[in-house]
Amino acid sequence: MAASHDRLVLEPHFTGQLRADAIEAPGTRQVRSAHFSRVAPTRVSAPELLAWTADLASSLGLPTDPSADPGLAALLAGQELFPGSAPYAMCYGGHQFGHWAGQLGDGRAINLGERRDANGVLQTLQLKGAGPTPYSRSADGWAVLRSSIREFLCSEAMFHLGVPTTRALSLVHTGDAVLRDMFYDGNARHEPGAVVCRVAPSFVRFGNFEIFAARNEVAPMRELADYVIREHFAHLLPASGTLSNSTYLAWFREVCERTAQMLVHWSRVGFVHGVMNTDNMSILGLTIDYGPYGWLEDYDPSWTPNTTDAGGRRYAFGNQAQIGLWNLLKLANAILPLVEDVEALQEALGFFSEIYDRGWETMMAAKLGLGSWVESTDSALTAEWLQILGLAETDWTLVHRRLAQVPIAGGDFESDLATLAPAYYRSEQCTPAYRERLKTWLAAYRQRLRADDRSSAERRQAMDRVNPKYVLRNYLAQLAIDAAEQGDRVPIERLQALLRDPYGEQPDQESYAARRPDWARNRAGCSMLSCSS
């Protein structure tokens, strides 16, 4: 009997339609006038499957129970290849921390090929951490277990939160050690290696277009744009089938729209990407590349989870929309030879701002339980709420979940404060002046709620649908990493199960909904992280 994975036959969509690197020999190099390089994953010592995403597997034609196919671990570590697989690494560049970095590319990501899922959507399977490629520069192409666990869990957490994202099919321990200097302080140590199989309709980034613009290679850039539009934006194709300047412009406008919508979702759930370089921006508006990300604990717009960004805070929570626009500007500059209309591209960038602003208002109205955004009252109400959240360390996730429990009728401030109390990290910060300001806001909030003519129960149900109870707080991920490094995979399984239902009550899992404990405030991996992985 054939193994179940034999039914998953991959197809060469990307490599079948775009330009290959003329050099196939191993070794890092500058790759010119090519979209990808053919590569092969490096063999590992002892692949072991640590985590599996059953619903995604089923959609791709793989078993929901991986034990039904013992050969999966080897395939998902790159030890063997799926039928039809033609592995490749993509060429791209990017702006990193605001500066052009030149060629970057898939330095440790190897795409295995494409396949249509159960819904007919094209999906790319990609191994992260499967060895060097021509784009690895001075790196080894591997990934360590800690970063791979974080990527696996967060990809799936974001998916179930309703945030546009790449997904993660599997997590495999390689059995090999990887040398990493986690804190960039000269104290490198060996860590267990791992490979994540990431899945997305496309892993093309803004930087895929920037590299061709930087080299004045317009023909391959046009070919890539045509491929992306035909495969992933087919609704934009003109009846004639011939792409024109207006097609490229319509495509860019949609990229702007999708990016804005993604960033609104990040704000809603309190997600901070940490490294929004243009090479980490998906052309499909998906959250991509889970590195030094973090979840907002106490509300602080200036907070960044990335130690490399601690000085400038370029990628802080409150800057993400501004950086999204800046990155889109770089993409617009790159594709100008295709659109040939500066004013139209500028108008599209303005469209991003309009979509983001409207989306943010709608999102904040929903977080506060308002039926819709009413500018005359809600702008000031929301601004004051955010000001109040910044006066005392207040948990972004918990405070909105608890706010839903404050009744519309009432006015007993002490009862209201007791309801919100689990969201405060430092109760002593609730000074008399703070209490008075919060009391005044709650009175205005109740008055606004009464205008919607909804019951407290209806409002709470609506708020609980957009305000998660469970998110992948960094300390929870770190506890799972600590356990996995000691051979215990149970915490990974528990978190994965928990995060499939982030909006549900799950009464037996209350401990996972608590605010970050004090011991995790400054511990490595529990607050800020480096890019080392």
DSSP state letter for 314: T
The neighbouring-strand residues paired with 193 are 144
Name which of 101, 104, 115, 291 is nearest 196 in CA terms.
291
Examine the residue annotation and report whether 279 is marked as an active-site residue of this protein: yes
12 forms beta bridges with none
Residue 462 has a CB neighbour count (10 Å cut-off) of 17
Whether 199 and 166 have beta carbons less than 8 Å apart is answered as yes
> CA 183, CA 70: separation in Å to the nearest integer?
37
Residue 135 contacts residue 12 (beta carbons within 8 Å): no
The answer to whether the beta carbons of residues 381 and 369 sit under 8 Å apart is: no
| Calpha distance 417→469 (Å, rounded) | 19
- Whether the CB-CB separation of 246 and 236 falls below 8 Å is answered with no
- Among the options 21, 226, 279, 378, which is catalytic? 279
Taking each continuous run of H as one helix and of E as one strand, the counts in the chain are 16, 11
Q: Among all chains, which residue has been given the structure tokens 């671990």?
A: 73
Judged on CB neighbours under 10 Å (0-12, 13-18, 19+), 387 is: exposed
In sequence order, the 6+-apart residues with CB closer than 8 A to the CB of 453 are none
> Which amino acids are annotated catalytic?
279
